[in-house]
Structure 1
C-alpha cells in the first residue's frame, strides 16, 4: 500500500493551512477564505491555462520554504505560484501589496470606460468591486481612452470590446467547451482585441458561458440587454431535465417573468461543480427557456449579503407584523392609487422576457394605443 501523499503547510496572513503539493497560493488562500483570499480577474479554476494576465492577485512571499527561508525578491502572482512546505505569504498584512494592487487597478481602468450607469454588468461586475476595494480616487492618465466599434459576434451575444480587459477567459471557454473555436485575440499591444474573422460566427451550443465568465460588461446577453437592473430581479435556483448540460441554473425573475438564465456560481464568482464537473449550461437552457413552467423551482438563490443583488432578498428573514389594521379598528387600509393606471411605463400587460430586444417607450406607447 502506497504511502499517503505528504501535505504542504503554508501560512497566509498568519493563518496556516495544509494543501496538496502543486496547489497555487491563490487556491490555498481560497481554502482559508475571507479577506485572506486575493482578488482575481483573469484566473478561473474551471478553465485550464487561465491566470497570469491581470496581476491583481499579487502577494508577498516573506519565506520561500523551510529548506530555503529566503523571501522572494518581488511580489508574485498567486494564481501562478505553487506553494512550498513552510512557505509564508502576506496579502492583507503586507505593506507592498495594497500599493501594487492599486497600481494594477489604475492600469485596468486606463482604457475601461466608466459607463456603469448604462452597463448591464453593473451590480455584479468584478471590476467595480476591485476598483472600490483596491483602487484610488483619481487617475493620472491624461490621454484619450482606446475605443472600438460595437461588434455583433453571434445571435445571442453582444461584444463591447471597449470594456474588455483582455482576461482571455472567453477564449478558454470557446477552446475547451465548444466543438470549434472561432474567435480569439487579434493584433498585439494597444491594438489587441477579442474578435472573430467572420461576423456573427459564434453560434455553438455552449457559447453563452462566455457571458458568465466575463468579469466586466464586454460580453452581454442580448435577450437581457437593457431590460432590467440585476438588483431589481429575484435570483432563484431552478433545474430541468436537459440532455445537453446539467440543467441546474439560476433564473432571474421580476414577478412571474424570467428575464434571464445563468449558471449557478459559487462564492468566488465561478460556476458551481456537480459530481466533480463544472456546471456549465447549454444555450437552450440559457436563452430559450424563459417561462416559469419550463423550470422546477428549488428556492431563492444564496447571494452574498455584501452584494447589491442581495438587497431585499434576505432568506429566512422575519417580516414585521402589519399594524395598520389594528390602528384602524380592524379595517384594512384602502389603496389610494394604482400606479399602473396612471403611468405610461411598467405596463403589467407587457411581458419583458418575451421582447426580442430592450424595452423602450415605443413598446408601452403601442400597448396603450391598442
Structure 2
C-alpha cells in the first residue's frame, strides 16, 4: 500500500499506522507522541498529540476524513494522503493539546532531573504558547514513596500509561497502576507496596516527563553536563547493552539505549541499572550519538564530518563554573573607570 504524508510517498505493509509510516519517512513530518510506544503493546490514543489531517481517505474512497485523526491508532489505506506539519488545523490542534497537558504540569524544569531530555519540553518548544491562560490552582497530589530506586512526582504525570504497560508486559507481579477516576486519577501502588521487580527501572526510561526519575541520580547533575557512552557487560537477565552517563571518571547514572524517537532499544534489568556504577564493571564501546538539536549536545559535542564528537572535560567544567556564577548572582565591583566607558 502507498501513503503520502506531507508530499512524501512511501510504500508500507498492511496494518501499518500513519505514525509508523511517518517515522519511516522521518524528518519534520513525524508527529509527536507522548503516550504511544512502539516497543510496548496496546499503547497510544490517550494524549492526542499525534493528531493529523487525512485529506484523502484512500484510492477507493477519496473523501477526506472530517475530523483530525490520532496517527498512532489510524491504519494506512492504499492511496491515503495525510497532512502533518503542513496543515494549519493540525498545528492549532497540537498547540491546544500542549496547552491542556501543561494546565496541571508544574514549572519544575529548573529542578527536574528530566530537564534536557523531556518529551513535554520538546513538545512545548515546538507547539506551545509563550503564556498560559489557565489561572486556577493546579491539581496536586501528596508525595508517595514507591521504593528505593524510583522517585514518583505525581504532580508532573500526564497519565500516558507507559509505566503501567511496562509493568504488565515485562514483569509478572505488577503492583502499581492508575487509581481513581477523572481529575483524581493517579499512578499509585496497591496497599502501599514497593515497586521492586527486576525490570521496574524501565519505567524511568519510558516516562515522557519527570514523573518517574532515578533516585540514585537525584539532583546529582544536569544531563547536558554528562558524557553519554555506549557500554555493555555480560548479564544473565538482559542484553547488558546500556548508556553510561559519566562526569569525569564517575558514572552518574545508567540508562537503556534509546533510538531517534527516544524509545528504548532493549530493556535492561535493575542490576545493570542500579548496581554497577564503576567504570571497571563495563566494556565501554565509545561515545553515544544524539540528534544535533538535543540539549544534551550543548557544549559537550562538536560537529565533524557529520559525526558527533565529544569535547574535552574542560569545556564542561567551564560551563559549570559559569552557571555557579549566574546562580549565586556574584556582585561585580562597579569602578569609576567602567562608568566612564
When normalised by structure 2's length, the TM-score is 0.88
3-state SS in 2 of match to 1:48 = coil
Counterpart CA distance in 1 for 2:248 and 2:131 is 40
* Residue 221, structure 1, aligned to residue 214, structure 2: yes
3-state SS in 1 of match to 2:44 = coil
Distance 1:21 1:108, change over 3 A: same
Q: Which residue does 1:336 correspond to in 2? A: none
Select which of 205, 224, 227 maps to 2:198. Answer: 205
Select which of 95, 102, 109 maps to 1:109. Answer: 102
Superposed, 1:82-231 pairs within 5 Å as 82-231=75-224
Q: Which residue does 2:271 correspond to in 1? A: 284
Select which of 20, 43, 49 maps to 2:42. Answer: 49
Structure 1 runs of 4+ aligned residues shifted over 6 Å read none
Superposed, 1:49-88 pairs within 5 Å as 49-88=42-81
8 Å CA contact 1:253–1:259 kept in 2: the answer is yes
Residue 317 of structure 1 and its aligned partner are, at CA, apart by 4.1
3-state SS in 1 of match to 2:54 = strand
8 Å CA contact 2:54–2:69 kept in 1: the answer is yes
Larger radius of gyration: 1
Select which of 235, 248, 273 maps to 2:241. Answer: 248
Q: Which residue does 1:297 correspond to in 2? A: 284
Residue 252 of structure 1 and its aligned partner are, at CA, apart by 0.2
Counterpart CA distance in 1 for 2:262 and 2:271 is 22
Give the gaps of 5 or more residues in structure 2: 310-317, 319-323, 325-341
Once the two structures are superposed, residues 214-256 of structure 1 have per-residue CA deviations (whole angstroms, 9 ceiling, x without a partner) of: 0000001000000000000000000000000000000000000
Counterpart CA distance in 2 for 1:92 and 1:316 is 27
Give the gaps of 5 or more residues in structure 1: 1-7, 273-278, 320-338, 340-344, 346-370
* Residue 17, structure 1, aligned to residue 10, structure 2: yes
Q: Which residue does 2:22 correspond to in 1? A: 29
Residue 315 of structure 1 and its aligned partner are, at CA, apart by 6.4
Counterpart CA distance in 2 for 1:232 and 1:76 is 39
Matched pairs, number? 309
3-state SS in 2 of match to 1:261 = strand
Once the two structures are superposed, residues 317-347 of structure 1 have per-residue CA deviations (whole angstroms, 9 ceiling, x without a partner) of: 499xxxxxxxxxxxxxxxxxxx9xxxxx9xx
Counterpart CA distance in 1 for 2:172 and 2:219 is 31
